[in-house]
Amino acid sequence: MNRAHLIVLYVFFSALVSASTAWANAPEPSMPKLRSSSVLVLDPEQDRPLYAKNPTSITPIASITKLMTAMVVLDAQLPLDERLMIDEADIDTIKGSQSRLRPGSELSRRELLRLALMSSENRAAAALGRNYPGGVSAFVEAMNAKALLVGMTQSHFADATGLSSDNVATAQDLARMVIAAADYPLIREYSTAVSYSVEVPPYRHPLDYRNTNGLVKSAAWEISLSKTGFIREAGRCLVMMATIASRPVVIVLLDSFGKNSRIGDANRIKRWMEASLNPAPAKSRSRPLQRGTRYSANTITTRRV
């Protein structure tokens, strides 16, 4: 090797070392300031919390409950094309929430499941629980049994809708529930659908429904599971499984102050992760989230960061 070649190699390796040193010494992005009272951002592949704020506080979870409702319905392997009727018993007497599904309306179990997950339709969720073998009490018992099965030791379920403030959990437990729910293809599909139209007699025209999480239609997000929730006692809530900076992540946001703050918090987490992670090493450490990927729901450990 001649002198010219040695000089070229010296310059190349000097530049490489300088770049590596600059990256290593670059200041880390500051932790995001979030408006949710309880937060957990979890890497499910490495079983590692990336961000935690009051992750073990027990709080009402509102319609996040419907993820458990969906798992219990699907576990029972009830016929999804069976037609079920909305009943007076499905009307919300707890919060007085409204619904376009009138008593007497008939939909398939599949349609009810889709509306419960995508648009958080309370009468749809109530009808699913009421038509479970053994009725509502057996359904709630199955919800709590499933919660223990997936490691939700600080949770309790009281109804299929989440309208009762007795539906409670921690952010840590909800991360377990999200991971467990991601094993169900229909839950992933229905919870991330942008919209859906359904024929409901006696309406002349189809009823149009939209996802309660506007982020599912954003090109900037890659979301594989989603659920929102709100009652006064719970505040604004949001759980998601998404891919950010080529890494799968579970996001749990509970009791977020302000109508749009849970969406703002999710976007702040996304920007923080993208700024914190070097895309190249991240790809070598973990693969992007794939539909059907299975994660353990029972081994999450949480520490404050």
In whole angstroms, what is the distance from residue 23 CA to residue 42 CA? 25
134-141 long-range Cβ contacts below 8 angstroms, 24+ apart: 136/160, 139/72
Q: Residue 101 has which token pair? A: 């599904």
Q: For residues 167 and 239, what is the distance between their CA atoms, to the nearest angstrom?
A: 15
Task: Give the position of tokens 């319905």.
Answer: 73
> Is residue 146 among the annotated active site residues?
no
Catalytic residue among 38, 105, 119, 120: 120
Catalytic residue among 53, 66, 146, 227: 66
The pairing of strands 223-231 and 235-244 is: antiparallel
**Three-state SS sequence of 141-152:** HHHHHHHHHCCC
Tokens for 87?
A: 């009943």
Burial of 127 (0-12, 13-18, 19+ CB in 10 A): buried
Residue of 36, 63, 105, 155 with catalytic role: 63
Has 66 been annotated as catalytic?
Answer: yes
Concerning whether 63 is annotated as a catalytic residue, the answer is yes
Q: Do 203 and 136 contact (CB within 8 A), yes or no? A: no
Active site residue ranges: 63, 66, 120
